Amino acid sequence: MAIACNLGFPRIGRQRELKRRTEAFWAGAADDHELAATGAALRRENWLRQRAAGIDSVPVGDFSFYDHVLDAAVTFGAVPDRYQRYGGPGSFGTYFAMARGVGGSEGVAPLEMTKWFDTNYHYIVPEFGPGQTFHVAAPALLDQLREALELGIPARPVLVGPLSLLLLGRAAGGNALDLLPRLVPAYQELLAGFAAAGADLVQLDEPVLATDLPTQALDALPRAYAALAEAAAPAGLMLASYFGSYGAALGTVRELPLAVLHLDLVRAPEDLPALLEAGVPPGLSLSLGVVDGRNVWRTDSRRALGALRGAAQALGGERVLVSPSCSLLHVPLTLAGEAAMPAELRSRLCFAEEKLGELRSLCEAMAAPGALTDEAPSAERIARGQGVPRPAGAPVHRRSPYAVRRPLQADRLKLPPLPTTTIGSFPQTAELRRLRSEQRQGLLTTEAYEAGIREEIGKVLRLQEEIGLDVLVHGEAERNDMVEYFGERLEGFAVTAQGWVQSYGTRLVKPPLIHADVRRRGPMTVPWIHYAQSLTERPVKGMLTGPVTILQWSFARDDQPRSETCRQIALAIREEVLDLEAAGVRVIQIDEPAFREGLPLRADDRPAYLAWASECFRLATSSVKDETQIHSHMCYSDFNDIIEAIASLDADVISIEASRSGMQLLEAFQEFHYPNAIGPGVYDIHSPRVPGVEEIEGGIRAALLRLDPAQLWVNPDCGLKTRRFDEVVPALRNMVAAARSMRALVAPKERA
């Protein structure tokens, strides 16, 4: 009979226990022992829940207090010296210093953070110094394995593989891949420990195999995995890649000394027939990822069973593992809290716990021909919408080029050199959350709720004027999240009550569901922005989330191309943009932090995506007048391979997260001779540190080495929603002071 195998499970807990305890620890309201105990309880609960659901092979090591890539770096001693003084190897002090930094005069900046492939999960980028060595410095995973085995759990250790750990990191002054011979012995030590503890299978995740790798990387695999397999014996190795096809690497990985090879058959169904045609070595079993680990719709059981039964016929059922396509980290935990959702829609959904049931049911159905064929709705049986026609005359290019628009906007806005602004949101206080909660529960009248929001908007505007910012924001007090907020106001969307998903650390989001054609019901932001602008003479930005980001950060329907769904969202945002302009808003920001995230992992697939994604942004923004200034914001990204697409967006001002890279991300804009204005983040908002004036001046100087002063805006890295006011206010004061001091160094020029 086939084996039910799970690749990973959500870490956060049913009541977001990990978030609450971790943030209490950061605030000094919980100690190391309490935080560790919460982690241990959540791990135990997750293991037992999976075992009770009938999972035959349960992952151990998928839990993390912040990030699993950071865990792997710490495990093998890749801890830069500057963090050691905060508690030493294996301590929470060092761990969180690497993840978040430490404030104060003796503080330290965190490691860089970036997107986990094409997901909205962020990982901490390992840093490998000159002369980097590796050893098993933090054996916590061994302890977790023993703990699980003592509970009678059929445990399988899971950790990031050596190739991915190196290629996802940054090596100072060299090629990270050159460190592989040094890293493999440390992995061998840990694998031997797993075998000695009683593991019979160890999973190494190598998702970089779904990307275009240099020949050197593929050539290094056989020798490395031969050494790893020898050290792990008698335990076998399971290699897992996901998010795409193995491509040219498939021939290499099929020859590795593996016990199990995982295939993501949701993203790359072609890998299975290719592998079966090439021939599966006699000792190799296949983990077939037929349940979507990145979306929430029920599995098309007929399609899944077709792949599973085909593999079982070729190999024998005992050599088939039924798995999700990737870790279930990327979906909400359970449907149990969604009783208020319409029954028809709820019947189509499947969160992490329910996906465990799907795995078990598919295993059982493999031995029972005809089972399940009518239980799960396939994509073909989900009713398609009627489509959304594009309005006649909706342009996809601005009326005039940037060189023409720029002086018109400068004359209208009258901004100083190096203008200062923020990205959009201000801290979401407990009072704001209480307001929204009471309004949702009917405990607060609409009038009282709106009065409270207007009061908060007024406070934030007065604060920004007092600090001295040049272009203001209303602070987004009315918004729970930059995507969920719009999902609540657009037709074709549904929102969950408890559908939390980890984005990074303790930052959780509730992605909405796109289940039908998307249309705008009416104005979504206009009244709030219009009110905010009435309180000040300075320009207030209208704040919108862009169509690509709304698509990427939602669970999208899978019965039509993503490009069509994105186009529908773009048309809805276009209507909002035009209403904002008609209301007198002079600056409109349409954020696309997920633009780079949506880029396909293989180069051959990228041109088509960039074409429709860029067009959707322009469709949303190009109908405005020349004197209306369009801003956009993008998150941590390597922009080199998409710089032409960014230029094609033709935003008047683009802000990017750049501080953790020391402004190195600007090199792509410099080499491309990017013509429009740029606001590189001059300080990192993901850390509680308050940067000093001199530190921010250093960031501005670094930016001026790469940009013309007339191009440069000064702003934080990202929105301020997750920070506290006692962190935000001094940081912004220092930012404004730094910008003003640097203005003396640049000749006054016409502003963007």
pLDDT band at 660 (very low <50, low <70, confident <90, very high): low
Q: What are the tokens at 7? A: 């690749």
pLDDT band at 90 (very low <50, low <70, confident <90, very high): confident
pLDDT at 398 over 90: yes
Q: How far is CA 234 from the centre of its chain?
A: 37
Strands 201-205 and 285-291: unpaired
pLDDT band at 191 (very low <50, low <70, confident <90, very high): very high
Q: What are the tokens at 483? A: 């995507």
Distances (CA, A) of 256 to 45, 183, 325: 35, 18, 21
Q: Which residues have a Cβ under 8 Å from the Cβ of 119 and sit 6 or more positions away? A: 243, 294, 330, 597
Is 633 among the catalytic positions? no
Would you state the pLDDT for residue 440? 84
Architecture of domain 3-8+47-67+112-381: Alpha-Beta Barrel (3.20)
Mean predicted confidence (pLDDT) in 458-482: 95
Please identify which of the residues 262, 515, 530, 686 carries the catalytic annotation.
686
| Stronger pLDDT, 392 or 103, i.e. the higher one | 103
pLDDT at 749 over 70: no
| Cα distance between residue 574 and residue 593, in whole Å | 18
Taken in order 72, 57, 203, 601, the sign of the CA dihedral is negative
pLDDT at 3 over 80: yes
| Cα distance between residue 650 and residue 671, in whole Å | 18
Would you state the pLDDT for residue 174? 84
pLDDT at 639 over 80: no
Would you state the pLDDT for residue 683? 87
Taken in order 549, 552, 558, 561, the sign of the CA dihedral is positive
**Beta bridge mates, 632:** 654
Query: Alpha helix locations (H) across 396-445?
Result: 402-413, 430-440
Q: Which residues have a Cβ under 8 Å from the Cβ of 528 and sit 6 or more positions away? A: 453, 457, 474, 478
Domain 407-743 has what CATH class? alpha beta
Greatest Cα pair distance in the chain:
78
Q: What is the mean pLDDT of the chain?
A: 93
Strands 501-504 and 490-494: unpaired
| Cα distance between residue 583 and residue 532, in whole Å | 12
pLDDT digits (tens, 9 = 90+) for 519-548: 999 999 999 999 999 999 999 999 999 999
pLDDT band at 747 (very low <50, low <70, confident <90, very high): low
Would you state the pLDDT for residue 739? 96
Would you state the pLDDT for residue 653? 97
Would you state the pLDDT for residue 752? 47
Would you state the pLDDT for residue 138? 85
Q: Is the distance from CB of 557 to CB of 576 less than 8 angstroms?
A: no
Taken in order 655, 554, 487, 463, the sign of the CA dihedral is negative
pLDDT digits (tens, 9 = 90+) for 673-686: 899 999 988 888 87
pLDDT band at 377 (very low <50, low <70, confident <90, very high): very low
**Beta bridge mates, 124:** 113
Domain with CATH 3.20.20.210 in the chain: 3-8+47-67+112-381, 407-743
pLDDT at 380 over 50: no
H/E element, 288: strand 285-291
Q: What are the tokens at 260? A: 């199990």
Q: Is the distance from CB of 175 to CB of 161 less than 8 angstroms?
A: no
Torsion of CA 149, 155, 159, 161, to 10 degrees: 120
Q: Which residues have a Cβ under 8 Å from the Cβ of 578 and sit 6 or more positions away? A: 623, 624
pLDDT digits (tens, 9 = 90+) for 558-591: 999 999 999 999 999 999 999 999 999 999 999 9
pLDDT digits (tens, 9 = 90+) for 211-249: 999 999 999 999 999 999 999 999 999 999 999 999 999
pLDDT at 200 over 70: yes
Number of H helices, E strands in the chain: 25, 21
Would you state the pLDDT for residue 106? 78
**Proportion of the chain above pLDDT 70, given as a percent:** 96
Would you state the pLDDT for residue 385? 60
Q: Tell whether omega for the bond before 234 is within 30 degrees of 0, i.e. cis.
A: yes
pLDDT at 463 over 90: yes
Residue 270: what are its φ and ψ, rounded to 5°? -70, -15
| Cα distance between residue 407 and residue 389, in whole Å | 35
pLDDT digits (tens, 9 = 90+) for 143-161: 999 999 999 999 999 999 9
18-54 core/surface letters (b: 16 or more CB in 10 A; e: else)? bbebbeebbeeebeeeebeebbeebbeebbebbbebe
Q: What are the tokens at 378? A: 């396939």
Would you state the pLDDT for residue 603? 94
Would you state the pLDDT for residue 378? 41
Would you state the pLDDT for residue 221? 97
